[in-house]
Amino acid sequence: MSYPIHRPRRLRTNPKIRELIQETVLLPEKFILPLFVEEALKIEEPIQAMPGQFRWPVSEIIRPIEEAKSFGINSFLLFGSPETKDRTGSSSRDPKGLIPRAIEKIKGAFPDSFLITDVCLCGYTDHGHCGIPDSQGYIQNDETLPFLCQMALSHAKAGADMIAPSDMMDGRVGVIRSALDIDGFTRIPIMSYAAKFSSCFYGPFREAAHSAPSFGDRTSYQMSPSNRREALFEMTLDMDEGADILMVKPAMPYLDVIYEARIRFDCPIAAYQVSGEYSMIKAASANGWVDERGAVLESLLAIRRAGADLIMTYFAVNAAKWLKDNP
């Protein structure tokens, strides 16, 4: 009986050698924790569609920050849900508004925290769209851009460390970059939601952020799930307009896009493990169908293996705990 010369199992013999040759490594410092800040609240409020996640009032927002930092997570993505909403999302541009106050609160307690702010109108408008509709309900592109610039500037002036436009309006990275530079914020990077697909996996988020559209859908500005080449074209445009980091959203259903982006672009690539991805794992584990720890860490490894340098994930704290207990 002949035996193979190459025996890959030699390198799987024990945990020490498996750890030594591990190609993809998860590190808590590569995770970004999304947080929901809601103006009307006095205490934290559980998000029904996202077990284990909460909406936070500004007065309590340092609590999840403190916990996350204790496990090595120092980067946070802030979403706001104001008390007052209108057609143009005017509260999004208020220099004393919800997110600027949250930034001030967090930086006062943890000045070394890295705060990324979502720049989009959907959570601030009474219609729930990411831009300004015309009389027929079509979301206007160029008319929306000045509002996004003002929103980005209000965050930068409050102390945001990075701006993350998620609206998918054409040209928004370029005008935001120009506005930041003109106002003296040349050091603030932009992480663009460059390939943001029109996905059913956003459902729980829209409950969390109270941002579901009141009419129509977002297919006229978010991308078709069928189009990979178009996604790479969108990413190229955002790079040309001055984006520093390119994001793919969602993550798991679009690993091929993450992989292609990693090959094509030399900048950091981010991926967003979105609310639907989170809630599916939570539901399956609650029913005993999957092991939550195993499913979470395997999914995050897959996203990293595909090429993502940074991962936005609601599992950030749990994953960091598990990695600390049993790397």
How far, in Å, CA of 165 to CA of 97, rounded? 18
Q: How many Cβ atoms sit within 10 Å of the Cβ of residue 123? A: 27
Helix axes 62-70, 98-109, angle to 10 degrees: 40
Bin 137: left if φ > 0, else alpha if -120 < ψ < 50, else beta.
left
How far, in Å, CA of 78 to CA of 119, rounded? 9
Q: Is 249 a catalytic residue?
A: yes
- Please identify which of the residues 30, 69, 196, 282 carries the catalytic annotation: 196
Going by their DSSP bridges, the two strands 162-165 and 114-119 should be labelled as parallel
- Please identify which of the residues 96, 249, 282, 324 carries the catalytic annotation: 249
End-to-end CA distance of the chain: 40
| 36 burial type by CB count under 10 A (0-12 exposed, 13-18 middle, 19+ buried) | buried
Handedness of CA 51, 57, 59, 61 (dihedral sign): positive
Structure tokens given for 183: 């106002």
How far, in Å, CA of 26 to CA of 31, rounded? 9
What are the residues whose beta carbons fall under 8 Å from the beta carbon of 207, sequence distance 6 or more? 47, 48, 49, 50
Q: Is 107 a catalytic residue?
A: no
Please list the active-site residues.
196, 249
